[in-house]
C-alpha cells in the first residue's frame, strides 16, 4: 500500500533526527567503537567492558526510540500544517544519515532540516553531522542544520516536568530535601578548553532547568558522567563521586537528571541506572533517575518548534520568531522565571 501524503503546496520538507548510533550487538562492538574513535580500534579490554555493559542492559534501545521520536515528530508537524516527513540517521551505525536522506528523497522531500539529538552543540560535534548531511548530494542551499536549542523554553520545561515527577520515585519522607544532580556527558579537559562555549551551554541548560523546576540554590548541582577511556584528565566532578559527599552532608536520597541525553541508551540505562545507583546505595542513599524524554509529548512539541525556528518564517505556520542562526547559534532563550 502506498503511503498517503498531504498535498504539496511548496518544497516538501524532510527532517533527519541525528545521533551517534549504537552497535547492532556484541559482535558489532569493535567496529562501532573504532568508528566513534575516528578509525582507531579500541583496546580489547575496552571492547570487553562495553560488551559487558550492553549485555547487562539487554542491548541499547536508542535506535528504536529515535525512530519513535521521528514518527511522533512527523505526526506533530503534519498536525501543525507542515508537509513534512521525518527519518533517522546515525553517524556510526545504520540507519546512516545518508540512508535517511535517501529515504526522504524517495518521499519527494527536496528541503531538509537536520536536528542533532543533543540540545547543546560543539563545533567538533557539529562538523561531522554537517559533513554527513552535505555528502548525500542534496543542494547545500536546501539543507539546514538546526542551531543549538539548549535554551528553548519547551525543551527546558519538558526536563523540568520530568524532575518534578521524578521526586515521586523517592521515599515520601525524603523528597523535600533530596538534592538533584544535573548531568552531562563528560569531556576530556583538553576538549573543554578548546570549546568553552560548549561547556557554557551545558551549564546554562542546568541553570534554566533548575529554575523551571523550582529548585532553590544549593539543592541542585551540575556535574559530569560517563567519562571515557581515553588517556588524560576528564571534567569533574563526576556524579558518582558526589554520592559519598552528599551522604556526609546529611542527605539520604538523590535524584539524577540528565540534561543532555534525550532517550534511553547505554549512558542512561547502565551508567546511571546501574553504576550510579550502586554508588548511591553503597553510600546509604535512596536513588532515583528522571524518566527520559523519549516520546514525551512536550518534548516532541519542542522538536517541532526547533524545526519551525530553523526555517524561514514563511515556512513556519506556528512561529512568529525569525529562524535562529546556523552553525551553532542558539535558538531563543527560555522566558524569564521569577
Give domain limits for the chain.
13-149+296-315, 153-289
The string of pLDDT tens digits covering residues 253-302 is 999 999 999 999 999 999 999 999 999 999 999 999 999 999 999 999 99
Three-state secondary-structure class, residue 269: helix
Contact between 203 and 152 (Cβ < 8 Å): no
pLDDT at 326 over 80: no
Q: Specify the pLDDT at position 204.
A: 98
Across 27-42, average pLDDT: 95
- Are the C-beta atoms of 126 and 18 separated by less than 8 Å? no
Which CATH architecture is the domain 13-149+296-315 placed in? Answer: 3-Layer(aba) Sandwich (3.40)
pTM of the model: 0.90
Distances (CA, A) of 41 to 17, 30, 47, 54, 128: 27, 7, 9, 18, 19
Query: What percent of the chain lies above the pLDDT cut of 70?
Result: 89
Q: Do 13-149+296-315 and 153-289 have matching folds?
A: yes
What CATH number has the domain spanning 153-289? 3.40.50.1400
Q: Cell numbers for 56, please give them.
A: 547487562
Amino acid at each position: 500500500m502506498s503511503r498517503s501524503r498531504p498535498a504539496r503546496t511548496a518544497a516538501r520538507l524532510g527532517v533527519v533526527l541525528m545521533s551517534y548510533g549504537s552497535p547492532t550487538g556484541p559482535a558489532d562492538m569493535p567496529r562501532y567503537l573504532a568508528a566513534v574513535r575516528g578509525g582507531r580500534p579500541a583496546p580489547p579490554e575496552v571492547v570487553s567492558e562495553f560488551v559487558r555493559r550492553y549485555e547487562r542492559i539487554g542491548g541499547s534501545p536508542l535506535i528504536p526510540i529515535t525512530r519513535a521520536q521521528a514518527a511522533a515528530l512527523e505526526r506533530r508537524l503534519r498536525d501543525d500544517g507542515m508537509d513534512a516527513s521525518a527519518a533517522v540517521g546515525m553517524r556510526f551505525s545504520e540507519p546512516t544519515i545518508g540512508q535517511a536522506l535517501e529515504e526522504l528523497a524517495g518521499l519527494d522531500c527536496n528541503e531538509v532540516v537536520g536536528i542533532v539529538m543533543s540540545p547543546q552543540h560543539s563545533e567538533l560535534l557539529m562538523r561531522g553531522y554537517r559533513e554527513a548531511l552535505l555528502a548525500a548530494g542534496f543542494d547545500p542551499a536546501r539543507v539546514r542544520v538546526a542551531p543549538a536549542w539548549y535554551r528553548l523554553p519547551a525543551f527546558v520545561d519538558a526536563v523540568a516536568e520530568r524532575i518534578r515527577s521524578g521526586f515521586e520515585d523517592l521515599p515520601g519522607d525524603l523528597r523535600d530535601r533530596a538534592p538533584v544532580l544535573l548531568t552531562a556527558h563528560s569531556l576530556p579537559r583538553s576538549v573543554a578548553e578548546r570549546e568553552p562555549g560548549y561547556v557554557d551551554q551545558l551549564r546554562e541548560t542546568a541553570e534554566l532547568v533548575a529554575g523551571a523546576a523550582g529548585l532553590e540554590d544549593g539543592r541542585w548541582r551540575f556535574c559530569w558522567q560517563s567519562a571515557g577511556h581515553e588517556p588524560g584528565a576528564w571534567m569533574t566532578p563526576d556524579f558518582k563521586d558526589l554520592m559519598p559527599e552528599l551522604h556526609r552532608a546529611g542527605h539520604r536520597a538523590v535524584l539524577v537528571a540528565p540534561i543532555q541525553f534525550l532517550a534511553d541508551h547505554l549512558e542512561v540505562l547502565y551508567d546511571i541506572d546501574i553504576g550510579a545507583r550502586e554508588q548511591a546505595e553503597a553510600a546509604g542513599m535512596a536513588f532515583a533517575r528522571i524518566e527520559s524524554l523519549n516520546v514525551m509529548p512536550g518534548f516532541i512539541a519542542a522538536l517541532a518548534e526547533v524545526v519551525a525556528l530553523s526555517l524561514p518564517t514563511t515556512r513556519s505556520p506556528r512561529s512568529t520568531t525569525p529562524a535562529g542562526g546556523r552553525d551553532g547559534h542558539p535558538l531563543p532563550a527560555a522566558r524569564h522565571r521569577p
